[in-house]
Amino acid sequence: MPRSLRPMTIHPITTRTLEVLRVADVTPGMRRITLGGPGLRAHTAANGYPVEEIHCDGFDDHCKFILRHPDLPADAPTPAPTQADGVLNWPTDELAVNRSYTIRKWRPDAGDHGEIDVDFVRHGVGPATRWAYTVQPGERIQIAGPKACALQPEGADWLLIGGDETALPAIGRWLEEMSPDTRGQVFIEVDRDDHIQDLDHPVGVEVTWLPRNGAEAGTTTALYDAITGCEWWDGRVFAWVAAETLTLVPIRRWLRREKSLPREQVDISGY
């Protein structure tokens, strides 16, 4: 039995520097940064190692953004990984910072070199959010990955999908890329009503938005209540849930213990 109904490919890890092409707000709570430039294509790194073309076929493929720690002196370089032979040498500096983000869209044929979109939730004052909400077109950013690429599940009769706003880029991409005959129930927690997005999805997929209306992320049971209260359809389900780690503990327990779902039908990730 496979570990998951999702076929998985592992690519050699790469690091590359991209150009910020466009910046746009999808909603007041989500900023879309479009990245491109020759760094997306196969090339040779400054240290002579080959860097493969970027691959992002999976709806939740993610990469790490290499960011500046706020305590770094202005004249200090950003600690960053360097390319080696199919692996990366990561900096051990305690002021090295990276954060994971989903590739919301990959357009390999756009422009001269292709484009990727990455959607950043507006929250807190962390280095990634600060970067996304101050960066301008023309600036450059280093990323690492994606490495693992898991495709859509095969052999499921219906999908049970849940997530908070950090999972919304993956869920939005999945909804757009699903086959038109997909059946499923999707529950998405967002901060406020005006953070709800207009997402394309198959007619057999029901999307329910769960605005927290002022409550802190990770402090409500809205996602758990919606998932455990869903109508349990006949057939083989595949469940995918991504959110803040503490939110996931009771959801994972319910899916695995109460609903007795085997490991290959459950994909749960702490974002």
List residues binding ligand FAD (CB under 6 A): 62, 99-102, 119-121, 123-124, 126-129, 166, 169, 217, 244, 269, 271
Radius of gyration of the chain (CA): 19
What's the min distance (Å) between Cβ of 75 and ligand FAD? Answer: 23
What's the min distance (Å) between Cβ of 223 and ligand FAD? Answer: 12
* Nearer residue to ligand FAD within complex by CB, 169 or 184: 169
* Nearer residue to ligand FAD within complex by CB, 59 or 158: 59
Evaluate the CA torsion angle 78, 79, 84, 87 in order and state its sign.
Answer: negative
What's the min distance (Å) between Cβ of 80 and ligand FAD? Answer: 16
Comparing C-alpha atoms, which of 36, 250, 19, 25 is closest to residue 136? 19
What's the min distance (Å) between Cβ of 258 and ligand FAD? Answer: 26
Two tokens at 65? Answer: 């953004």
What's the min distance (Å) between Cβ of 111 and ligand FAD? Answer: 22
* Nearer residue to ligand FAD within complex by CB, 75 or 216: 216
Output phi, psi for 128, to 5 deg. -70, -45
With residue 144 as reference, give the H or E element that holds it. strand 140-144
β-bridge mates for residue 206, sequence order: 185
* Nearer residue to ligand FAD within complex by CB, 26 or 51: 26
What's the min distance (Å) between Cβ of 235 and ligand FAD? Answer: 28
What's the min distance (Å) between Cβ of 211 and ligand FAD? Answer: 14
Cis peptide before 146 (omega within 30 of 0): yes
Comparing C-alpha atoms, which of 187, 186, 193, 195 is closest to residue 222? 187
Distances (CA, A) of 74 to 17, 24, 77, 79, 253: 20, 28, 8, 13, 47
* Nearer residue to ligand FAD within complex by CB, 78 or 129: 129
* Nearer residue to ligand FAD within complex by CB, 79 or 158: 79
* Nearer residue to ligand FAD within complex by CB, 102 or 185: 102
Q: How is the chain split among helix, strand and coil, in percent rounded to 5? A: 20, 35, 45
Two tokens at 179? Answer: 């086959």
Rounded Cα distance, 267 and 57, in Å: 17
What's the min distance (Å) between Cβ of 126 and ligand FAD? Answer: 2
* Nearer residue to ligand FAD within complex by CB, 67 or 237: 67
Distances (CA, A) of 80 to 67, 118, 125, 235: 8, 20, 21, 47
